[in-house]
């Protein structure tokens, strides 16, 4: 019978085929397609880690903390831009008001550093602890990626997420100011100088906080403990430094200030923007700017290195 | 086969001694969830296997029997007396639970001694040493349990349950994770204890183990007792289910057609180099087979009931 | 990055016969506290369904981890599909699937999400990962439940997910560590059938590590037995379960009469409980037995030539009472030797 209304044009494997019809083979097929190896696996893990930091792919509840914190971090910038727009309309008097605005590139770090820290403390434990707690690591390590690939992809995802949260407000501020300026071209010229500055500060914050949070979370699979430890490491040292600075001489404070990540970032912020540090101790200790930058770089590399080492040696 | 240690639920004709452990119309529920539903049986000396699918109520039943849970209805009787809330009754029972972790920093001997003292045994040191010797752990008794292999850990738990010389021993999945040699040792140990007069009940998923070790079985399904006794006898009782036999012979086709002429046979299949025969009349067929074979001049090399295994009985029971 | 040499058709397509699947040479692994898990293990395995049994100790899990590159050997060499585990581990792992013994699944992921992610971790592109996941989940028997979180799965379903993630990247070799762990009898049956199918229909070489000899007998063609880190035996399964020269006859009643009748006809007969045992060296006794039973009108329940069992390998003492040693036709005492084959 030649006039069958059904004609199948698939290239699926067939079990049997005749002029009147075909049976397609639904049995197990072997995979003959491309195998992309380590780099593809690493990129996939990096992407998944980045999305997991924002709770994407994990249901609604997982998104609450990250998006709230990110939203709060951007909020001052949005307000500042709105304020600036109103001030621009108000004319010269508005400029005075605008100059007095506390929301500027150099002050932004002080405004949102706590939010960034909370973001790390909330997301890093889940990112690193989950696979350890549920013993999923052997399944990863028995695949195309190496142990160090795994660590780097995870840390990379975390740092990238932090970078996004950290830079968004600066970018909003930048664009807002450019648009709000009476002449966008001169506005751009005015503001452009800040771009490399905030990019650098943002990168240092993301790198250092992310690196430290990742390291702590990699060592502490229990979520609550990791969160508490991350917060402690970021909050307690500045307090100690402050106390030491008040009670003793400056030399001791100068010696220990570089061990406090929060103070390091405070110092880099001051160094990059040429402003005064928020912390009185940092302001008075008078270390050269490059000291903070070097300490930050060292901290970033060190913490990532130690995280990789942790995964190289973790037992399966 | 040794005599079944499991008297039927009806009283036996000979005046039996009080059973070591009896479960009398016991139920246990949690709110609306009925974990154990009106189960009755009695245990005597020997080894009994407790089987059932996951979630059938085996662990609950073991805990009820050990006195760790109160029945919601019914009674658990130890040596004829109710066990609940009478600590002296618990002396008769030893439980080896599946999951409970043993403190891994204790040595085997210390663990046994701890149990002995908790049980209020008169001379804890001697009792502990004796129990350790029974399970053949004397060489490793002074090492921390954390250094033991899986099989040794199970034996340590067993020693802990034996210190007070209970007459009844309850074990929850005792062979879990043991390698073949450890399992053989443990089986030999349990068999010797049963031969010495102890009543042993163990639960397991591994039917081949139960088949080898247990004199009789209790099958639990959905909280109810589905069957009790020697599993071969249980199979005979499953009269609503046809028996199947496989036969290997010198001429399968000839044998098959000759057998089909016999009224006891209602199916014969040539498969896999054998004849698969279905019959509704076990007795008539088993007598007919050699006679039909002789009459047809066919040699019989292998005859086996295909569903006489515990596995087959079990799957039938839990599919109703 | 996959080296081109390892992806050429020659090594992928010709699985059977041209390469050794696993080759070990003096493989040793020590753990702290003096535990020796593997001690100078040397063997070579061809593709098939291979059972791995360990008596005493951690040998089999350790071996699997070394093959996967999860553990370093203390000394000795190992190779998988002619690739060295120390230097070519990443390549090996692209073609090996691993199903661990313990729980290793995150409870808040769905089976689909998790297995797709694992496929990507094995280097599959994202579309292929999704499609393979869907297919493999069907092959292991997970249907609508695959979209629910794994935390709510039964043990059987979790084991299937573990198997799926091991299969999703179409490995050439599957390493299964106690695949029926925690499953009830029905679940075990299904898993064993799935394993058997994988080895036979799917064309994948399988190594099953198990402490349950019955399972190994059912599913595997070849057995590797390790004892205290040393190789005890490595041989096709058939050699462990050879027939002995003992024929077991089970009749529902009348054993005594039968024993007498057979002895009268010149056969060496021993009674063991309800079973009657005779020595067989050739085909002649079978008809004599048949005729004796027929004449007496006895119900014949079972007629079976006794076989050695895998367990004999692990007995370190004289086997307990039942009769493999009772028959006078001198079958081997313990371990494995040639039983008299028919």
Longest alpha-carbon distance in chain B: 72
Q: Give the best-scoring range by mean pLDDT among B88-92, B149-153, C275-279.
A: C275-279
pLDDT digits (tens, 9 = 90+) for C170-189: 999 999 999 998 888 888 88
Backbone dihedral angles phi then psi of residue A16, each to the nearest 5 degrees: -155, 145
Maximum CA extent, chain A = 102
Nearest CA to C17 among C258, C205, C278?
C205
* Lowest-confidence pick of A98-112, A215-229, C153-167, C223-237: A98-112
Partner residue facing C304 (CB), from B182, B290, B304: B304
The beta-carbon neighbor of C104 closest among A39, A41, A136 is A136
CA angle B171, B177, B183 (to 5 degrees): 70
Whole-Å CA distances, B146 to A41, B176, C48, C314? 38, 17, 37, 25
Do C267 and C278 touch, CB atoms closer than 8 A?
A: yes
Q: Which two tokens stand for residue A179?
A: 């648009």
Residue B49: closest CA among B257, B162, B260, B191: B191
Q: What is the DSSP string of C125-142?
A: -HHHHHHHHHHHHHHHT-
Helix axes A184-192, A147-180, angle to 10 degrees: 140
Give the SS3 label for residue A10. coil
**pLDDT category of residue C319 using cuts at 50, 70 and 90:** very low
Q: What is the residue extent of each domain of chain B? A: 21-235, 236-306
Residue A274 lies in a domain: yes
Both tokens assigned to A76? 């001052």
Residues 137-166 of A with CB under 8 A from C: 138-146
pLDDT in the model for residue A97: 60
Question: Quick check: helix, strand or coil at residue A215?
Answer: helix
d(CA A179, CA A173): 10
Residue A5 lies in a domain: no
How far is Cα C171 from Cα C95, in angstroms, rounded to an integer?
4
Q: In the CATH hierarchy, which fold is given to the domain comprising B236-306?
A: Alpha-Beta Plaits (3.30.70)
Those residues with Cβ within 8 angstroms of residue B21's Cβ, 6 or more apart along the chain or in another chain? B42, B43, B65, B76, B77, B78, B92, B93, B168, B199, B201
Q: What is the mean pLDDT of residues A284-295?
A: 83
Q: What is the pLDDT of residue A100?
A: 65
C183 has a chain B CB within 8 A of its CB: yes
Place C16 in a pLDDT band, splitting at 50, 70 and 90: very low
A13 in a structural domain: no
> How far C240 CA lies from chain A's nearest CA (Å)?
32
Which comes out higher in pLDDT, residue B308 or A193?
A193
Q: Are A205 and A265 in contact (CB under 8 A)?
A: yes
* Res A25 pLDDT > 80: no
Residue C336 predicted with pLDDT over 60: no
Most confident by average pLDDT, A67-71, B117-121, B234-238: A67-71
pLDDT at B169: 93
C137 compared with C201, residue with greater pLDDT: C137
Tokens of C225: 């037995």
Q: Do B287 and C298 touch (CB under 8 A)?
A: yes
Taking the mean position of all CA atoms in its chain, how far away is CA C290?
A: 36
Q: What's the pLDDT at B309? A: 76
Is A99 contained in some domain? yes
A44:C120 CB<8 A: yes
- Identify the three-state secondary structure at position A16: strand
Tell me the C-alpha to C-alpha distance, in Å, between residue B17 and each of A22, B5, B89.
Answer: 72, 12, 18
Per-residue pLDDT at C170: 92
The answer to whether the CB atoms of A139 and C94 lie below 8 A apart is no
Q: Select from A29, A36, A134 the Cβ nearest to the Cβ of C123.
A: A36
A20 burial via Cβ count (<10 Å: 0-12, 13-18, 19+): exposed
Q: Give the domain range for residue A132.
A: 36-313
**Domain for residue A88, yes or no?**
yes
Tokens of C205: 């070489």
- Looking at residue C330, its pLDDT comes to 34
Contact state of C301 with B182 under an 8 Å Cβ cutoff: no
Alpha carbon C246 to chain centroid, angstroms: 26
Check CB contact under 8 Å for A316 and C71: yes
C329 pLDDT above the threshold of 90: no
* pLDDT tens figures, A35-76: 888 899 999 999 999 999 999 877 778 899 999 999 999 998
Residues of C in contact with A35 (CB under 8 A): 2, 7, 94, 122-124, 169
d(CA B289, CA B270): 16
Report the gap between the CA of A22 and the closest CA in chain C (Å). 20
Measured CA to CA, the distance from residue A129 to residue A223 in angstroms comes to 7
Q: In the prediction, which pLDDT does A5 show?
A: 63
Any CB–CB contact under 8 A between A15 and chain C? no
> Over 80: is that where the pLDDT of A316 sits?
no
Q: Which residue's entry shows tokens 């028995």?
A: A142
Give residues 66 to 105 of C whose Cβ lies within 8 Å of B. none
Give the model confidence (pLDDT) of C76-88 as tens digits. 999 999 999 999 8
Chain B residues close to C286, C-beta within 8 Å: 299-301
Q: Let me know: does B162 contact B94? Beta carbons within 8 Å.
A: yes
Burial tier of A96 (Cβ tally within 10 Å: 0-12, 13-18, 19+): exposed
Mean pLDDT (whole number) for B49-74: 86
Segment C259-297, tens digit of pLDDT:
999 999 988 888 877 789 998 888 889 999 999 999 999
pLDDT band at A95 (very low <50, low <70, confident <90, very high): low
Q: Average per-residue pLDDT in chain A?
A: 85
ipTM of the complex: 0.86
Instruction: Please report whether residue A260 resides in a domain.
Output: yes
Q: Kindly tell me if the per-residue pLDDT of B10 is higher than 60.
A: no
The whole-angstrom distance between C274's CA and the closest CA on chain B is 8
Distance of CA A29 to the CA centre of its chain: 41
As for how many domains chain A has, the answer is 1
- Residue A89 has a CB neighbour count (10 Å cut-off) of 9
pLDDT at res. A215? 95
Interface test with A, best of C15, C101, C105, C121 (most A CBs within 10 A): C121
C-alpha–C-alpha distance, residues B23 and B64, integer Å: 9
Pairing of strands B300-305, C96-99: unpaired
pLDDT of residue A94: 58
Q: What is the pLDDT of residue C327?
A: 34
**Domains of chain C by start residue, with CATH:** 4-239 (3.40.50.300), 243-325 (3.30.70.100)
Instruction: Check residue C67 and give its pLDDT.
Output: 93
pLDDT at B101: 67
Dist. CA C222–CA C240, nearest whole Å: 10
Q: Cβ distance B214 to B49 under 8 Å?
A: yes
| Chains in contact with chain B (at least 3 beta-carbon pairs closer than 8 A) | C
Q: What confidence category does residue A7 fall into, taking pLDDT thresholds of 50, 70 and 90?
A: low
Q: How far is CA C334 from CA A120, C42, C309, in A?
A: 64, 24, 10
Kindly list the residues from chain C whose CB atom is less than 8 angstroms away from the CB atom of residue B1.
Answer: 273-274
Contact in structure between C16 and C47 (CB atoms under 8 Å): yes
Contacts of C128 in chain A (CB under 8 A): 31, 33-34
Nearest 5°: the CA angle C281, C283, C289 is 100
Cβ-Cβ contacts under 8 Å for C132 (sequence gap 6 or more) = A31, C119, C124, C168, C169, C170
C-alpha closest to that of C215 among C233, C242, C194: C194
CA distance B303 to B244: 11
* Cβ proximity of A2 and A19 under 8 Å: yes
Q: Please state the pTM of the whole predicted model.
A: 0.80
Q: Could you tell me if A261 and A237 are in contact, meaning their C-beta atoms sit under 8 angstroms apart?
A: yes
Which has the higher per-residue pLDDT, A104 or B263?
B263
A23 is a domain residue = no
3-state secondary structure of C207: strand
Residues of C in contact with A135 (CB under 8 A): 100, 102-104
User: Which of the four CATH numbers 3.40.190.80, 3.40.50.300, 3.40.50.620, 3.30.1330.20 does domain B21-235 have?
Assistant: 3.40.50.300
Query: What is the per-residue pLDDT across C19-64, written as a single tens digit (0 to 9) for each?
Result: 788 999 999 998 877 778 899 999 999 999 999 998 766 688 889 9
CA angle, residues C6, C10, C11, in degrees to nearest 5: 50
Please state, in angstroms and rounded to a whole number, the distance separating the CA atoms of residues B309 and B213.
14
Check CB contact under 8 Å for B179 and C311: no
Q: Which of A263-277, A279-293, A294-308 shows the lowest mean pLDDT across its residues?
A: A279-293
CB-closest option in C154, C212, C302 to B206: C212
CB pairs under 8 A between B and C: 111
H runs (alpha helix) in chain B: 58-65, 87-90, 108-118, 124-134, 150-162, 180-195, 207-213, 231-237, 252-260, 282-295, 310-317
Q: How far apart are CA B298 and CA B285, in angstroms?
A: 16
A31 lies in a domain?
no
Closest chain B residue to C209, measured at CA? B179
What is the strand order of the sheet C269-272 is part of? B265-271, B274-279, B243-249, B300-305, C300-307, C243-251, C275-279, C269-272
> According to the model, what pLDDT value does residue A259 have?
87
Residue of chain C whose Cα is closest to the Cα of B285: C299
Kindly give the residue spans of alpha helices, DSSP state H, lying in A181-273: 184-192, 194-219, 223-247, 250-257, 261-273
**C299/B contact by beta carbon, under 8 A:** yes
Residues C12 and C169: their CA atoms lie apart, in Å, by 13
Is 50 exceeded by the pLDDT of residue A144? Answer: yes
Check whether B2 has a pLDDT greater than 70.
Answer: no
Torsion of CA B219, B223, B225, B230, to 10 degrees: 10
The mean predicted confidence, pLDDT, of chain C is: 82
Give the model's pLDDT for residue A93: 61
Q: What percentage of residues in chain A have a pLDDT greater than 70?
A: 92
Q: Which of C40, C47, C5 is nearest to C22 (CA)?
A: C47
What's the pLDDT score for residue B297? 93
- % of chain B with per-residue pLDDT over 70: 93
Tell me how far apart the alpha carbons of residues A13 and C12 are, in angstroms, rounded to a whole number: 20
Answer whether C94 sits within 8 Å of A143, measured CB to CB: yes
- For A263-280, write each residue's pLDDT tens digit: 889 888 888 888 877 777
């Amino acid at each position: 019978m030649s006039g069958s209304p059904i004609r199948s044009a698939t290239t699926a494997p067939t079990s049997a085929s005749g002029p009147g019809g075909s049976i397609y083979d639904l049995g197990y097929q072997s995979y003959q397609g491309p195998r992309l190896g380590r780099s593809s696996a690493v990129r996939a893990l990096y992407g998944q880690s980045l999305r997991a930091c924002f709770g994407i792919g994990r249901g609604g509840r997982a998104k609450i903390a990250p998006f709230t914190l990110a939203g709060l971090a951007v909020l001052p910038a949005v307000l500042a831009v709105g304020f600036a727009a109103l001030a621009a309309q108000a004319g010269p008097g508005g400029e005075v008001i605008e100059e007095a605005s506390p929301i500027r590139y150099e002050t932004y770090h002080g405004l949102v550093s706590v939010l960034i820290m909370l973001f790390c403390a909330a997301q890093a434990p889940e990112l690193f602890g989950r696979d350890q707690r549920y013993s999923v690591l052997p399944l990863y390590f028995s695949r195309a990626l190496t142990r160090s690939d795994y660590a780097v992809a995870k840390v990379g995802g975390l740092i990238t997420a932090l970078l996004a949260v950290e830079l968004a407000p600066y970018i909003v501020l930048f664009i807002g100011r450019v648009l709000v300026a009476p002449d966008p071209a001169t506005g751009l010229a005015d503001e452009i100088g800040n771009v490399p500055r905030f990019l650098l500060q943002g990168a240092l914050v993301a790198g250092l906080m992310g690196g430290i949070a990742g390291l702590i979370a990699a060592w502490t699979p229990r979520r609550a403990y990791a969160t508490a430890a991350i917060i402690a490491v970021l909050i307690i040292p500045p307090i100690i430094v402050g106390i030491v600075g008040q009670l003793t001489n400056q030399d001791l404070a100068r010696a220990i200030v570089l061990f406090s990540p929060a103070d390091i970032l405070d110092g880099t912020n001051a160094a990059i923007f040429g402003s005064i540090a928020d912390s009185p101790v940092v302001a008075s200790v008078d270390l050269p700017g490059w000291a903070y930058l070097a300490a930050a770089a060292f901290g970033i590399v060190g913490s990532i290195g130690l995280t990789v080492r942790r995964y190289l040696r973790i037992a399966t | 086969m040794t005599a079944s240690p499991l008297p039927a639920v009806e009283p036996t004709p000979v005046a039996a001694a009080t059973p070591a452990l009896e479960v009398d119309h016991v139920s246990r529920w949690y709110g609306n969830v009925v974990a154990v539903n009106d189960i009755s049986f009695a245990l005597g000396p020997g080894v009994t296997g407790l089987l059932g699918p996951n979630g059938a109520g085996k662990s609950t039943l073991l805990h009820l029997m050990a006195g760790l849970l109160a029945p919601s209805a019914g009674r658990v009787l130890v040596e004829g007396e109710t066990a609940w809330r009478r600590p002296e009754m618990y002396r008769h029972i030893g439980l080896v639970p599946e999951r409970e972790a043993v403190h891994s920093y204790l040595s085997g001997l210390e663990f046994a001694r701890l149990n002995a003292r908790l049980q209020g045994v008169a001379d804890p040191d001697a009792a502990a040493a004796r129990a350790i010797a029974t399970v053949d752990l004397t060489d490793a008794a002074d090492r921390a349990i954390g250094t033991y292999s899986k099989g040794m850990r199970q034996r340590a738990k067993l020693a802990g349950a034996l210190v007070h010389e209970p007459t009844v021993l309850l074990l929850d999945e005792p062979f879990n994770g043991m390698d073949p040699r450890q399992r053989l040792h443990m089986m030999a140990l349990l068999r010797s204890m049963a031969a010495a007069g102890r009543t042993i009940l163990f639960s397991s998923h591994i039917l081949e183990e139960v088949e080898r070790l247990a004199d009789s079985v209790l099958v639990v399904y959905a909280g109810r007792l589905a069957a009790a006794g020697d599993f071969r006898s249980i199979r005979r009782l499953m009269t609503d289910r046809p028996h199947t036999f496989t036969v290997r012979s010198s001429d399968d086709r000839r044998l098959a057609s000759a057998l089909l002429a016999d009224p006891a046979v209602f199916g014969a299949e040539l498969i896999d180099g054998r004849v698969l025969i279905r019959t509704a009349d076990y007795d008539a067929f088993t007598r007919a087979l050699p006679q039909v074979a002789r009459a047809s001049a066919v040699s019989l090399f292998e005859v086996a009931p295909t569903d006489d295994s515990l596995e087959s009985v079990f799957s039938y029971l839990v599919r109703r | 990055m996959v080296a081109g040499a390892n992806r050429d058709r020659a090594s992928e397509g010709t699985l059977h016969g041209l390469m050794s699947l696993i080759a070990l040479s003096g493989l040793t692994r020590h753990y702290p506290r003096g535990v020796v898990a593997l001690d100078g293990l040397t063997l070579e395995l061809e593709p098939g369904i291979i059972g791995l049994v360990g008596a005493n100790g951690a040998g089999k899990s350790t071996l699997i981890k070394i093959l996967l590159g999860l553990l370093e050997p203390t000394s000795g060499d190992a190779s998988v599909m002619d690739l060295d585990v120390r230097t070519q581990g990443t390549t090996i792992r692209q073609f090996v699937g691993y199903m661990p013994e313990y729980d290793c699944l995150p409870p808040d992921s769905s089976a689909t999400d998790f297995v797709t992610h694992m496929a990507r971790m094995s280097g599959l592109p994202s579309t292929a990962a999704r499609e393979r996941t869907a297919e493999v989940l069907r092959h292991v028997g997970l249907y609508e439940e695959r979209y629910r979180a794994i935390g709510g799965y039964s043990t059987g379903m979790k084991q299937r997910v573990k198997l799926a993630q091991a299969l999703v990247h179409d490995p050439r070799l599957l390493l299964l560590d106690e695949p029926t762990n925690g499953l009830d009898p029905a679940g075990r049956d299904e898993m064993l059938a799935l394993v058997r199918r994988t080895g036979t229909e799917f064309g994948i070489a399988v190594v099953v590590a198990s402490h349950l000899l019955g399972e190994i007998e059912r599913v595997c063609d070849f057995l590797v037995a390790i004892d205290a880190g040393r190789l005890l035996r490595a041989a096709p399964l058939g050699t462990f379960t050879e027939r002995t020269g003992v024929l077991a006859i089970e009749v529902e009643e009348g054993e005594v009469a039968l024993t007498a009748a057979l002895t009268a006809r010149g056969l060496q007969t021993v009674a063991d409980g309800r079973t009657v045992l005779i020595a067989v060296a050739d085909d002649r006794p079978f008809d004599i037995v048949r005729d004796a039973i027929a004449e007496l009108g006895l119900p014949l329940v079972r007629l079976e030539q006794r076989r050695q069992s895998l367990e004999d390998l692990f007995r370190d003492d004289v086997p307990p009472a039942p009769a493999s040693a009772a028959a006078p036709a001198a079958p081997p005492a313990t371990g494995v030797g040639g039983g008299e084959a028919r």
